[in-house]
Structure 1
Amino acid sequence: MKTAAIIGGGVIGGGWAARFALMGWDVRIFDTDPEAERKIGEVMANGRRTLPMLYDTQMPPCGAISYHATVAEAVKGAQWIQESVPERLSIKNAVFAEIAQNADADALIGSSTSGYKPSELQENQGSFASRIMVAHPFNPVYLLPLVELVPSSKNPPEYVEKAKEILTSIGMYPLHVRSEIDAHIADRFLESVWREALWLVKDGVATTEEIDNSIRYGFGLRWAQMGLFETYRVAGGEAGMKHFMAQFGPCLEWPWSRLTDVPEFTEELVDLIADQSDAQSGDKSIRELETLRDDNLVAMMRALKQQGAAAGKSLIEHENTLRAPLPETVPLITQSRTVPVDWTDVNGHMNEGRYGQVFSDASEELMTHIGADRAYIAAGNSYFTAETTIRYLNETHAGEGFSVATRVLLGEGKKLQLYHEMRRDVDQELLATCDQFLLHVSLETRKSCPPLPEVEARLAKLAAAHKKV
């Protein structure tokens, strides 16, 4: 069994715990906070609700989470150890020394630090220093895939590659930062934007809400899909990046920003920002804001997934590693997944059109099972749906796990009839059924025809097995 140790809970440590556990790892946690189990449990609940919404395939069984009284006990048997203690180098170095004395010899250690360089973390750690590197995530860790992986010259390439492999296996996108630099890459951008925003509030130019709106209604949407440089490449028109830089490069010499200057954090400035922030979103609790944030992230990442772009591309790649051939059961379990938040309507339940999507996905899985897969379609053959009858029996809500059982009622020649039952995981309540009739067609003539022999044989075998039930 794969085991991860989380040293230091809180928002980031709890997010790591949720990410590892929901991807099938056992998680061992050490945290000195007496409320750690409650706090991490709440983060885990957020992750358990939303992470499965990203995937259109079955998630691995959730790993066990346990809490331990000492670092030594928590790291025992762990292949990956994630340190997320407060940002004080003395605390981190002391924790690493304790980890080194008790961890398995082949364990790798990642630090969630946003500011320290790996060489600073490795000081006085002896031979164990080679296993310590920065693995800096972004909140919420259980949803956002980026992790800045920063090694030093003390980390052998094979350890770095192993770290990438582990992080990728849990759905993260490890960005290998090849040079040690304060605050790595992403936080340097964030700090620059944050500094400029503080001046805009202090100087009375804009409120906290107006600044947030300038991001979320504008360039934030472009950055989510294209980042910085590709956004500006497009802004250059047909002439591309060279034209953009020639046109806007001189602006860099103009005194537009105050990035090299820092406003003093006076009590007045802190109160001003806090008051504006309260007016902006103080009517919602932190948990309500987390739910809104997570639901928005799921919807946006699923949209990027549909387009195969940015974070959606890495999500597709990870989802493909989770897919497994359908087991030879009767009926076949063709879907086992979670209802995503973008499938619900104003009534709060799953839109009727999405039931069609569920049953379409179920039939696609059956097609793959009998060999009528993408390669088969690319060669000019496919099944087209001629008729469906869907019965809506119960409400289905976002975050609910469900499965679809599919039976082959008819599989003769060019005719295929399927019967699907959709059930809620928690109570096996029947949610909807679908009777689906399909015809095999030639994509060249767009007319019905018999399937190729190998597909026809697999389908006949399946139909015979299902007919016995």
Structure 2
Amino acid sequence: MSRVAVVGTGVIGAGWAALFLAYGHDVVAHDPGEGAEARLREAVAQAWPALERLGLAEGASPERLTFAGELADAVAGAEFVQESGPERIDLKQKLFADLDAATPSGTVIASSSSGLTPSRLQEMCGNAPERVLVGHPFHPSHLIPLVEVVPGARTTDAAVQRALDFYTSLGKRPIHVRQELPGHVTNRLQAALWQEAYSLVERGVVSVADVDAAISQGPGLRWALLGPLVNQHLSGGAGGMAHTLEHLGPPAEEWMKDLRPAPLTPALVSLLVDGVDDELAHVDQTEMVAQRDELLVALLQQKRGHRALP
């Protein structure tokens, strides 16, 4: 694959564009927003040093990025299309109708959407809906390996495999989500944690800062290396997962039963916003993001050299 189209060049689309370029592809981008091209080129320039540290493909260059003023020009001849437009159904309706009409019928159209199901997107396409699916990344999309590949009711197995293979070729770790669910998989896992975090703050059990410390200084360190289920397996020692579930399963069930709903009332929203503001009151947030990305790159580099991690 050599020519990839990026449609929608906000934060996520720009990250995709930078990654595609880093792996030696020609990228043609389109976004109707005023000043979009300048913002995209600046975003690629900012992402490039981290991508260089991770290793560039032969021939990779930001110079292989072009910007098309018309959608049809961006997708003509594209071998893969990554759509990252706004999460607004009215905009998606026209965008996918136009994409479906202008993109070669054998080309996969993958949406970065975290909120719309692929079957809903396919309903907007009258030409070749069977090549439409969701390819949902995680921010920062040029660094985080995970991408959720979600087929719709009409997506062919061949289209799914092409997407899985393409994302894998980019150093991504795609997962095949076999059922359509609101939020796909990973956002649902995050939402379960957010729900209890919000509830604990609302009930005065801990502060916002303490919730963040509980994860970032605790299980989050392990989760960056191994998933929650493998970590459970390791906590069982020689008995593995079976031992963990036998001894910790029953109390864990009781904890799960005690988890509380946390409706986002105005009072709770204020509590959360104020808590984050307090936590970051003396933090340079620009530097915080830069250091986060620096550590992400270092972690990714280290993980590449440790083949026993699944």
Task: Give the count of matched residue pairs.
Answer: 309
Query: Structure 1 residues 205, 59: CA separation in 2 closer, same or farther (over 3 Å shift)?
Result: farther
The TM-score with structure 1 as length reference comes to 0.61
Corresponding residue number in structure 2 for 1:294? 293
**Which string of whole-angstrom CA distances, capped at 9 and with x for unpartnered residues, describes residues 258-277 of structure 1?**
656232330x3333322322
Quick one: distance in 2 between partners of 1:58 and 1:27?
Answer: 14
Residue 29 (str. 1) matches residue 46 (str. 2): no
The answer as to whether partners of 1:4 and 1:26 remain within 8 angstroms in 2 is: yes
Q: Structure 1 stretch 279-288 or stretch 16-25: which is displaced more?
A: 279-288
The answer as to whether partners of 2:199 and 2:260 remain within 8 angstroms in 1 is: no
Query: Structure 1 residues 202, 36: CA separation in 2 closer, same or farther (over 3 Å shift)?
Result: farther
Name the one with the larger strand percent: 1
Query: Structure 1 residues 6, 260: CA separation in 2 closer, same or farther (over 3 Å shift)?
Result: farther
Quick one: distance in 2 between partners of 1:127 and 1:65?
Answer: 28
Quick one: distance in 2 between partners of 1:274 and 1:19?
Answer: 32
Quick one: distance in 2 between partners of 1:259 and 1:74?
Answer: 48
**Amino acid across the alignment from 1:303:** Q
Which one has the largest radius of gyration? 1
Counterparts in 2 of 1:167-182, with a 5 A limit?
Answer: 167-182=167-182
Quick one: distance in 1 between partners of 2:59 and 2:53?
Answer: 14
TM-superposed CA distance for 1:292, in Å, is 1.1
**Amino acid across the alignment from 2:28:** R
The answer as to whether partners of 1:17 and 1:44 remain within 8 angstroms in 2 is: yes
TM-superposed CA distance for 1:132, in Å, is 0.5
Corresponding residue number in structure 2 for 1:371? none
Query: Structure 1 residues 129, 286: CA separation in 2 closer, same or farther (over 3 Å shift)?
Result: farther
Query: Structure 1 residues 173, 255: CA separation in 2 closer, same or farther (over 3 Å shift)?
Result: closer
**Amino acid across the alignment from 2:158:** E
The answer as to whether partners of 2:23 and 2:57 remain within 8 angstroms in 1 is: no
Counterparts in 2 of 1:419-458, with a 5 A limit?
Answer: none
Query: Structure 1 residues 112, 209: CA separation in 2 closer, same or farther (over 3 Å shift)?
Result: same
**Which string of whole-angstrom CA distances, capped at 9 and with x for unpartnered residues, describes residues 12-66 of structure 1?**
11111111111111222222332423433343133201122123x7654225222
**Amino acid across the alignment from 1:191:** A
Corresponding residue number in structure 1 for 2:212? 212
The answer as to whether partners of 1:196 and 1:258 remain within 8 angstroms in 2 is: no
Query: Structure 1 residues 207, 33: CA separation in 2 closer, same or farther (over 3 Å shift)?
Result: farther
Matched residue of 2:240: which SS? helix
The answer as to whether partners of 1:192 and 1:259 remain within 8 angstroms in 2 is: no
The answer as to whether partners of 1:196 and 1:257 remain within 8 angstroms in 2 is: no
Quick one: distance in 2 between partners of 1:58 and 1:107?
Answer: 23
The TM-score with structure 2 as length reference comes to 0.91
Show structure 1 runs of 4+ deviating over 3 A: 57-60, 255-260, 282-287
Corresponding residue number in structure 2 for 1:229? 229
Quick one: distance in 1 between partners of 2:286 and 2:103?
Answer: 35
**Which string of whole-angstrom CA distances, capped at 9 and with x for unpartnered residues, describes residues 278-331 of structure 1?**
232354555423211111111112222222244xx7xxxxxxxxxxxxxxxxxx
Residue 269 (str. 1) matches residue 246 (str. 2): no
Quick one: distance in 2 between partners of 1:12 and 1:277?
Answer: 24
Higher relative contact order, chain-length normalized (CA < 8 Å, sep 6+): 2
TM-superposed CA distance for 1:145, in Å, is 1.2
In structure 1, the gaps of 5 or more residues are: 314-469
The answer as to whether partners of 2:147 and 2:172 remain within 8 angstroms in 1 is: yes
Corresponding residue number in structure 1 for 2:68? 68
Matched residue of 1:254: which SS? helix
Corresponding residue number in structure 2 for 1:3? 3
TM-superposed CA distance for 1:149, in Å, is 0.6
Q: Percent of pairs identical after alignment?
A: 36
Over the aligned positions, Cα root-mean-square deviation in angstroms equals 2.2
**Which string of whole-angstrom CA distances, capped at 9 and with x for unpartnered residues, describes residues 350-380 of structure 1?**
xxxxxxxxxxxxxxxxxxxxxxxxxxxxxxx
Name the one with the larger helix percent: 2
